[in-house]
């Protein structure tokens, strides 16, 4: 399963706008994409409320994972860019 570990570097953490973008990407992907926190919480990124409940902040480390597919790496890379913009 393709996976990315990322340290959140978005200056204000993960608020409504980035969470909505993550959900949009997950839904467009068509396969479940999960986000796991260092504390063990696991949520599907298609659920805006589930991700918002995590209250992710700058410096938190999360792992994104989805099933293998032709576009899995691209969708995970796009999600990493939302969480840790360059």
* Residues taking part in catalysis: 15
Q: Taking CA 72 as the corner, what is the angle to CA 51 and CA 47, rounded to the nearest 5 degrees?
A: 20
Residue 45, burial from CB neighbour count under 10 angstroms (0-12, 13-18, 19+): buried
CA distance 18 to 51: 10
Shortest CA distance to 64 belongs to which of 28, 22, 30?
22
């Amino acid at each position: 399963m393709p996976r990315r570990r990322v340290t959140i570097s978005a200056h204000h953490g993960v608020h409504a706008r980035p969470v909505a973008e993550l959900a949009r990407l997950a839904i467009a992907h068509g396969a479940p994409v999960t986000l796991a926190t260092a504390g063990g919480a696991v949520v599907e990124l298609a659920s805006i409320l589930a991700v918002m409940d995590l209250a992710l902040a700058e410096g938190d480390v999360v792992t994104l994972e989805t099933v293998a597919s032709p576009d899995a790496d691209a969708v995970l890379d796009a999600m990493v860019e939302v969480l840790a913009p360059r």
